[in-house]
Structure 1
Amino acid sequence: MKTTRAKTVRGLLVCGLLCSFSVLAQYQWRDANGNMQFSDRPPPGDIPEANIIRRPRGMEPVRSLSTPSIPSSPAPQAGDKGGSKPASLAEREMEFRKRQTENAEKAKKQADKEAQDAQRKAACEQQRNQLAALESGQRMSRFDASGERVVMEDGDRNAEQERVRRSLEQHCK
């Protein structure tokens, strides 16, 4: 009983997956040879409008010439050709992807800058704490090359204070 039910469920899942692949094709058109094409990308620019059968929602062609169109590219300059032809769907898609990439790069640069600022701020705070500990007069120690603890002498303490002060003046203004 369980194996029959499992086979039925498995069969239904396979049918559902196979049927869902056709849904992924958002564009449908006939190519120059008359063959039906399915794709998630817009058809090539040489495909006539009459051969495009299906598009995603919101990508339908403008049906009326009386409705004002929003130019997708900047106004033609003096050296440009004609300029009255609207950008194709593929060109608008490329411009959109370019804007997306630029915005992502700007956001990444901003996030990197904020991370660097946070690291610098944390390093400055650590150096201020180290300077306060050195100036407090409490006994300080270091580890030498062999890993043994060595108590700092007054001369070493003064030299370390000067080094930390210079570093604060340079990096933590």
Structure 2
Amino acid sequence: MTRSFAPFLLATALIAAVPGAALAAQWQWRDEAGRKVYSDTPPPPSVPERNILSAPGRVAGAYVPTNSETAEGKSAGSVSTIATTPTDSQAALQAQKEGFEKRRAARLKQEEDAAAKDAKQAQRTARCQELSNYAAGLSQNARIARINSEGMREALDDAQRAAALERTNTTMAAECNGTNG
């Protein structure tokens, strides 16, 4: 019987890769005595930044000086202030966010104004169409009636029809810019 070594080699490779992956996600630093310390939690604040050999998401041995160390030349044992003060990139990001919010508010205001203007124009167009229809009915001698003060219906005579047509034309000229619809 011949056996394949492929499953055995695959299992061996997976077992060998597990400790490497576990170490890659761990913190490594040198303590006061110079010994390497491996942990899944960050080192205590007393450990200088330059003694941190590896951190999750950071290349091993990469030293990142704190803002206070570069600006004031403090010793490496100082506590980092990066987490408490915003960096230039954070300030730039905040400025971009504020600019975006201002542009968004301006655009929303502009869209709201345009919608209100369109609604007003639609109402004006409808009113002008009603006036135009009423004027056409008056000028074609269609029978027009109105309700008098006693609640009775009365038909317009020629003088009343001419007066109503004159008022309608005047209103149309004022409200519809001289157009009939």
Give the TM-score normalised by the residue count of structure 2: 0.47
Give the TM-score normalised by the residue count of structure 1: 0.49
